[in-house]
């Protein structure tokens, strides 16, 4: 067996994620680049890592009857078993002999012959006995938790928030592979021209249903090639492309992006501005290295003339800028990220119920800090990539209750959103348009 096959690398990545709580997408990018994997191997590795994390509870339920001493099992051994069972259950066209052979070889290489024997024995027992039946789980919340691999507290909360039908639809969606989507940089190219240029390589690429500047494909590695390198487009989820239009930015506006890194929405807002007319975005992040990332993105996308990035805690905006300084403000707030469960599946395991209210306090503190810096008549957009009311509707309601000088306005849209049930806000769930979950609220300062 070659040293670094996709299955071997998958076990390494999964073990590291479990140990260090790192993000799967960042770990994958690092390993793919370091090992210079070809597109086919990179795709298989990505499928294995995401698939195992997405279905972790289900895989453990299937394995449980065959592991005699689960607490004594090393994490990497469990990852070998999960990776093998994931392939058996969820992937077509993978021969069982290949799954068994490589699981055994990985166990030998990472451990010793005794561990390899144990891995083989467990997989053989599972093969002979068949998969344990999920219907044997009597409690409905526990059954959904295992079936869709979501913590029980979160299943119960989503059921209370959304009802049974929406819950099942949402849970069935979050374990599907995420679409690949891009935002055309309208400063340098058109949607039609980029689509025509990329379609020979990405046959299923098509215009987004919800974002006028978006193109979407079922899969594929869009972050490469001459057009990407030249800044004709950038990678961005469709739902987040609704934020910049919501601010109704005019060419000469002074705009604050209070939580800007890595700069996807900053560079989108920048396409509406004109430096000759005085238009400017002040883009903030608390970390210096993320400020550099915003600057790099602005340069690649040819909008550096209207983007000024700096390191600053958004809660200190008032100390740096005077009152009524900005025409438009975006607070894309730190949040639980529960709308990203499909793209970053580890999020669903790491969040706890207390996080939602802790984050709510931070979100309100940021709104409180930036509010005085908005001009009378100015517009403030509050957005998150989460789907729970504690971080969305409840934050807006609490802020407006303390600030009668602000009023809620409908969110302007470039394309109709038939699935949005949250008007005057926008609340997109992952099962609505197969995108990330997202929330947008618009506020106007009237005094």
Beta-bridge mates of residue 408: 443
Catalytic residue among 259, 335, 385, 442: 385
CA distance 120 to 33: 31
For residue 248 the two structure tokens come to 């109704």
CA distance 157 to 352: 11
Q: Check if 385 is active-site.
A: yes
Report the chain's terminal Cα–Cα distance, integer Å: 70
Q: Which residues does the annotation mark as catalytic?
A: 385
């Amino acid at each position: 067996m070659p040293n670094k096959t996709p299955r071997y690398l998958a076990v390494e990545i999964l073990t590291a994620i479990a140990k260090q709580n790192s993000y799967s997408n960042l770990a994958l990018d690092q390993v793919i680049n370091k090992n210079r994997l070809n597109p086919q191997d990179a795709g298989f590795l990505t499928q294995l890592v995401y698939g195992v994390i997405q279905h972790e509870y289900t895989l453990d339920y299937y394995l449980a009857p065959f592991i005699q001493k689960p607490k004594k099992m090393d994490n990497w051994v469990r990852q070998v078993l999960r990776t093998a069972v994931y392939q058996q259950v969820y992937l077509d066209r993978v021969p069982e002999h290949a799954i068994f052979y490589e699981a055994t070889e990985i166990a030998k290489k990472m451990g010793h012959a005794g561990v390899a024997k144990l891995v083989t024995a467990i997989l053989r027992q599972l093969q002979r006995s068949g998969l344990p039946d999920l219907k044997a789980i009597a409690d409905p919340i526990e059954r959904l938790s295992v079936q869709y691999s979501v913590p029980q507290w979160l299943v119960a909360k989503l059921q209370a928030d959304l009802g049974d039908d929406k819950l099942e639809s949402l849970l069935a969606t979050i374990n599907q592979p995420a679409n690949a989507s891009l935002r055309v940089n309208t400063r340098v190219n058109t949607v039609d021209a980029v689509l025509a240029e990329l379609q020979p390589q990405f046959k299923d690429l098509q215009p987004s249903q919800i974002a006028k500047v978006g193109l979407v494909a079922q899969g594929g590695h869009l972050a490469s090639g001459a057009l990407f390198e030249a800044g004709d487009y950038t990678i961005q989820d469709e739902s987040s492309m609704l934020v910049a239009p919501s601010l109704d930015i005019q060419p000469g506006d002074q705009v604050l992006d209070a939580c800007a890194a890595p700069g996807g929405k900053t560079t989108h807002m920048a396409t509406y501005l004109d430096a000759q007319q005085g238009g400017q975005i002040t883009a903030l992040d608390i970390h210096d290295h993320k400020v550099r990332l915003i600057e790099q993105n602005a340069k690649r996308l040819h909008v550096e003339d209207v983007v000024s990035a700096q390191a600053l805690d958004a809660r200190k905006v008032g100390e740096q800028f005077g009152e009524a300084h900005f025409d438009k403000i975006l607070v894309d707030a730190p949040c639980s990220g529960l709308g990203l469960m499909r793209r970053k599946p580890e999020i669903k395991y790491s969040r706890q119920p207390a996080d939602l209210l802790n984050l709510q306090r931070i979100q309100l503190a940021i709104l409180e800090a930036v509010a005085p810096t908005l001009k009378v008549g100015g517009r403030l957009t509050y957005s998150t990539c989460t789907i729970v009311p504690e971080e969305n509707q409840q934050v807006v309601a609490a802020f407006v209750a303390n600030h009668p000088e602000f009023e809620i306005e409908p969110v302007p849209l470039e394309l109709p959103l038939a699935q949005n049930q949250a008007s005057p806000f926008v609340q997109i769930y992952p099962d609505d348009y197969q995108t990330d979950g997202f929330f947008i609220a618009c506020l106007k300062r009237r005094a």
